[in-house]
Structure 1
Amino acid sequence: MNRAVASGGRLPLLKAAWVVARRDFSAILFSRAFFFFLLGPLFPVVVMVMAGGVGAQVQSSAATADIGLAMQSEDVDRMLDAREELARQLGGVVPPMVEVASLAAGEDFDARATLETTEGSLAAIVTGTPEAPVLTATESRVARWSGLVATIGAYASDPGARAYPPVATQVVGTSGAVENSGRLRTAQGGQVLLFMLIMLLASMVLSNLVEEKGNKIIEILAAAIPMDAVFLGKLFAMLGISVVGIAVWGSTAAVLLTAGGQSLSDLANPGVGWPMFFVLFALYFAMGYLLLGSIFLAVGSLATTVREVQTLSMPATMFQIIVFFLASLAVTDRGGWLEWTAMVFPLSSPFAMVARAASDEALWPHALALGWQALCVAVFVRAGAGLFRRRVMKSGPQGARRRGVFRMLASAFRNGSSRPV
């Protein structure tokens, strides 16, 4: 016997949810609006990349600072040679030195006036002799460069008195402190990325049922399939759309990072390793999206106009931020009650577990967390569908008579009507 017939002419839950999800997914994916939806987040990324490049160039130009030398010619040569020798030992710690003036014996030089009137990268001037140098600069640079100028002057005065012993080196791949701090940054970065994606994509669910309520399609759906299937199908359809968007944005970001010379080797290896971290990140995104989306779908289903949906979007966004802060604080409380609270509370659990995947090698907590989150998704969908039936569909004798009007129209939906849900 056909299962739909046996259940009173209504499609089974999972099959009905698949029909709703497939129809919603196709209707959104092949619309013009979805193309502009994909382009939307790419414009800020391009602007940020361009602004970062310009900012780095400006900062590099601003960071260039030279120390000028105004001494007798032989003293200038000795100071420059000493600076080159120290630069080979100390690297970028030693700023460039340039000749400003070659003075005759007894000739005066106004270093203060020269610094105040000269444009360019000149930040300080050293006068006097290598044995008794005089540094003229701003207060911060005097404090920073006094010892360096003294060292260069001492080496220029008597090079034979300064010797650099050979240093044997041993190279390690990492250290405990570096690995711990790197994993902490990976955990925080994973949380921020997960939060931004969910906040950007889950808010679309708020307005998902407004159009169907306005044109009475929801009545046909309620007569044809269980309301739980409607909620579940729409959630998974929006999740599929989100996955397509993330794939496009992620590919673009990977191309930009690769072109900029960035790779995963520049970041600390997460506790579970990069391949498993990406798998867990995708799973926790799906769970976080379904958890928050089920709540948004239930709340948004009570709205009757787009204006009401816009009114609901602000408290929904603030709610996401509070949940994110709870999970962020849990990163600093490893093994404490705050971390356990964040892992157990369903809405913050995906964020807390992403951070745990970055900092801990164990995999069994993730299996428990994913099972718990899946159970909470089922409970939230069931509760949201029940709330919709009681508050909007008004289930009962009157609701049953109302739905009876649409029983004949429901067969069109079950037979695959081309009209998108």
Structure 2
Amino acid sequence: MKGRMGKILTIARRDFRAILFSRSFLFFILGPLFPVVVASMAGGIGASVQGAAGPARIGVAMADTDTAMVTEARAALNQPLPRLPGTIVLDRPANSPQEVSAILKDGAGQGVAAVLSGTLDDPVLSGPQPRIAAWSGDVSLLVEEARRISATGPGQARQWPEIGLRPVAQPSQVDQTGGRIRTAQAAQTLLFILTMLLAGMVLSNLVEEKANKIIEVLAAAVPMDSVFFGKLLAMLGVSFVGISIWGGVAALVIVAGGASVAFLSAPAVGWPLFMALGAIYFACAYLLLGSLFLTIGGLAATVREVQTLSMPVTMAQLLVFFLASYSLGQQGQPVELAAALFPFSSPFAMLARAATDGALWPHLLAIGWQALWVVIIVRTGATLFRRTVMKSGPRGTKRGLFRMLHQSTRSFRQA
């Protein structure tokens, strides 16, 4: 076993150094940063354009007395309800749909999104259906306060009671559960994006070495399954280097921008252990998908065949992610157990479980289960590669898939 591990590490060091010190690695690191920069610029431009339009307000087109009452009511409600829509006094009537349309068109620069007309006894709110539906309750409160001021006389401000605030360190169970679910969803999404982004590098690895006849030299000196394991470990190491650089850049951007992740609640196992489990489950997800991609790349003759064969796997992985996401809302149900047992969805389901459940023993079982399937897939892929590409090994082609899996697992135990 020690000699086999040495061969695996030798292949891993060879591939890791070759990739890390290549020119393409720089573009690999910078590639994902371009969409982030473009999205940030687009968000800044959108916010600037939205800010130029100004906040949406209600245009008041009523009699002078009613308009004064509505304006005073809005000022009175500003203390307890500062998020109520603002008002602006209009100097033109709005008694018909045509007049309302003209006001909304001409008052766009002032942020007029709806028009309040009629009287305090019979108010009318005109505007686009989504806007007036969202503002109907606010306008009802505004008109009711205007009626009170009209009845009591202007200048009779309402005395709002002072509310004592008593914060507690422990959040409510509802807030804690909801926050942990958001943390689980964010972790699952990040794990899926990183896995799909980085595992694709494995696809073309063997295709290039087959074309250069390098794989024949490696196969003559090192067992094929050791070659597969070494290449997977090398690509996993490169992936961790990339994640470290991207994580450092993201941390600098967050600190420089004064942003935070306060909307994410602390996971049930605590942040340090959750981050460690995240790294472990990323490695498991990467090795599972990477071993499958490595098998596909080994069987394909050209890059075009690699792309054709990898498409169904990519779509299937998307379905796997949906299964893990759905199981998050079905905790304790059979679907969650199925997502945890299915090898390719197990890392996503178990990482989400770490955010919502503090038990640690299921993670030990899950990591061992996922590692077993990595071994099975790599052994099977190496066997198929020897028999179909290298044309070596037994010629018996009638053995079933289950017998091949059993043989691969038995040879691994003997090693």
Structure 2 length normalisation: TM-score? 0.83
Distance 1:303 1:97 in 2: 67
Q: Does the aligned pair in 2 maintain the 1:302–1:391 contact within 8 Å?
A: yes
Paired residue type of 1:283? I
- Report the counterpart of residue 156 of structure 1 in structure 2: 149
Paired position in structure 1 for 2:253: 256
Aligned in 2, Cα 1:76/1:330: closer, same or farther, shift over 3 Å? Answer: closer
The verdict on how the C-alpha distance between 1:277 and 1:117 changes in structure 2, with shifts beyond 3 A counting, is closer
| Percent sequence identity over aligned pairs | 53
Report matched runs for 1:15-414 at 5 Å.
15-59=6-50, 64-69=55-60, 78-92=69-83, 94-101=84-91, 110-112=93-95, 113=99, 115-116=103-104, 118-119=106-107, 120=109, 121-126=111-116, 132=121, 134-138=123-127, 140-141=131-132, 143-157=136-150, 158=152, 160=156, 162-173=158-169, 174-396=171-393
User: Would the alpha carbon gap of residues 67 and 311 (structure 1) be closer, same or farther in structure 2, given more than 3 Å must change?
Assistant: closer
Higher-Rg member (1/2)? 1
Change in 2 beyond 3 A, CA 1:359/1:57: farther
CA contact (8 A) 1:155 1:162 kept: no
Change (3 A) 1:64 1:214: same
- With 152-161 and 316-325 compared, the bigger mean Cα shift is at 152-161
Q: 1:359 to 1:214 in 2, by over 3 A?
A: same
Deviation (angstroms), 1:168? 3.5
Residues of 2 paired with 1:339 and 1:213: CA distance?
41
Task: Give the deviation of 1:215 after TM superposition.
Answer: 2.0
Contact 1:65/1:95 (8 A) holds in 2:
yes
Q: Deviations over 1:83-140 (max 9, x none)?
A: 2121111121x22223334xxxxxxx523536255232123455677x6474453255
Q: Cα 1:161–1:285, aligned 2, differ >3 Å: closer, same or farther? A: closer
Deviations 1:136-162 (A, max 9, x none): 532552734441332231243126495
Matched residue SS, 2:88: strand
Decide whether the 8 Å contact of 1:13 with 1:228 is kept in 2: no
1:356–1:128 CA distance, 2 compared to 1 (3 A): closer
Distance 1:318 1:396 in 2: 33
Helix, strand or coil at the partner of 2:85? coil
**Counterpart contact for 2:278–2:351, Cα < 8 Å:** yes
Partner Cα distance (2:347, 2:265) in 1: 21
Helix, strand or coil at the partner of 1:90: coil
Whether the aligned pair in 2 keeps the contact of 1:115 and 1:123 (CA below 8 Å) is no
Q: Is the deviation greater in 202-211 or in 170-179?
A: 170-179
Q: Who is 1:7 aligned against?
A: none
Kindly indicate whether the alpha-carbon contact (under 8 Å) linking 1:111 and 1:136 is maintained by their aligned counterparts in 2.
no
Cα 1:86–1:12 shift into 2, 3 Å: same
> Which amino acid is the alignment partner of residue 137 of structure 1?
S
Shift of residue 261 of structure 1? 2.5
* 2-structure distance, mates of 1:328, 1:126: 45
- The one-letter code matched in structure 2 to 1:115 is I
Q: 1:8: which partner in 2?
A: none
Asked if structure 2 preserves the Cα contact closer than 8 Å seen for 1:124 and 1:135, the reply is no
Q: CA deviation at 1:285?
A: 0.4
Unaligned 5+ segments in structure 2 are: 396-415
Look up the SS of the partner of 1:373 in the other structure: helix
Measure the CA separation in 2 of the matches of 1:23 and 1:161: 79
Q: Aligned AA for 1:216? A: K
- Provide the secondary structure at the position in 2 that maps to 1:12: helix
In the superposition, the TM-score normalised over structure 1's length comes to: 0.82
Classify the secondary structure of the residue corresponding to 1:97.
strand
Cα deviation 1:163-188 (Å, max 9, x = unaligned): 43443443345322222122112111
Once residues 320 and 117 of structure 2 are traced to their aligned partners in structure 1, the CA distance between those partners, rounded to angstroms, is 61
| Larger mean Cα displacement after TM superposition, 235-244 or 147-156 | 147-156
Deviation at 1:345, TM superposition (A): 1.6
CA offsets, 1:214-267, max 9 Å, x none? Answer: 222111111111112111110001111111111122222222233333223332
